[in-house]
Amino acid sequence: MVNTMTRRDLLKTAAAMGSSLAFPGSFILAKGEKVERFKIAACDWSIGKGGQLDAMDFAAEIGLDGVQVSFGPPGKGADLREEETRKAYEDACQRTSVSIASLAMGCLNQIPLATDPRAERYVEDCIEVMGLLGQQRLLLAFFGKGDVREEDKLRQLVEVLKRLAPKAEKAEVILGIESWLDAETHLRLINAVGSPAVKVYYDVANMETRGYPLYDEIRFLGKKGLLCEVHAKENGALLGEGKVDFHKVHAALDDIGYSGWLVIEGAVPKGSSILEAYRKNLSYLRSVFPDA
């Protein structure tokens, strides 16, 4: 459940099984297990378990395949820097049959990567931890105080990522940028960094909120090999009852050959229980993505 394959091993196996599996967002299960096109996870914070080990048990109760696990400052929540914590997550994965889909650094919304030296150290810590856990994708968040829509902030972020990217490359880790930037600006940012380790973590609800042509952006980024993972998200509504057309999302992902994790975020209407809402969200996604 915790991925023990290196990215190099994954790509070799994928090449032997078909080019569609080599897409950056794809995954390969352990030898002998069925390879599926999509798996469905949820952010630990969206199910009310941010940085908590029991997110794995709650995800199993919902019926999810995986959890996107938070990584924060030292001593914050279940700290994956600690060997004992990593072992506890590995045990939880085995016990629940729920995988760690990817890691996420929402803490960067308060401790900006572009301007706060602490954030760079935390990302370095996470890259090291991902090698120990066999993880390949890290969401770097750029909202709130971490917003980089101003050109000065964007230039500062490029310099930080230029320092981090070689470390990510060596560890075979993808740094996924989740931000308010449109696809063209993401491309400009990634080109300025100049590393294959930097890609886009695409959140469909965020892009719809900004008024971007999200289905076209998925195709644009995906065909350039720059889309590493996807948040299936709505704000204040269940999936399928909000503004995002997930049938169109599926069509766009078909067009770029994406296979990998669909990670549910948000999508809890006011007054709903998280358990009830996420079971409905999961059922809906599996109806739209029957190959999940």
pLDDT class of 34 with cuts at 50, 70, 90: low
DSSP string, 158-203: HHHHHHHHHHHHHHT-EEEEEES--HHHHHHHHHHHT-TTEEEEEE
Would the pLDDT of 11 be above 60?
A: no
Closest by alpha carbon to 289, among 257, 256, 255, 251?
251
Distance of CA 136 to the CA centre of its chain: 10
Q: What's phi and psi for 176, nearest 5 deg? A: -95, 115
Closest by alpha carbon to 115, among 154, 82, 79, 81?
154
pLDDT 10s digits, 211-262: 999 999 999 999 999 999 999 999 999 999 999 999 999 999 999 999 999 9
Would the pLDDT of 7 be above 70?
A: no
Q: Which residues fall within 8 angstroms of residue 152, CB to CB, at 6 or more apart?
A: none
pLDDT 10s digits, 103-153: 999 999 999 999 999 999 999 999 999 999 999 999 999 999 999 999 999
Looking at residue 35, what is its pLDDT? 56
**How far apart (Å, rounded) are the C-alpha atoms in residues 202 and 232?**
9
pLDDT class of 36 with cuts at 50, 70, 90: confident
Q: Hey, where are the domains in the chain?
A: 7-288
Fold for 7-288, please state it. TIM Barrel (3.20.20)
Do the beta carbons of residue 38 and residue 260 sit within 8 Å? yes
One-letter amino acid for residue 32 of the chain: G
The long-range contacts involving 270-274, CB below 8 angstroms and separated by at least 24 positions, are 270/236, 272/238, 274/46, 274/47, 274/48
- For 53, 63, 248, the CA distances from 87, given in Å and listed in that order, are 11, 23, 40
**At CA 113, angle to CA 109 and CA 115, rounded to 5?**
110
Do the beta carbons of residue 218 and residue 202 sit within 8 Å? yes
Looking at residue 291, what is its pLDDT? 87
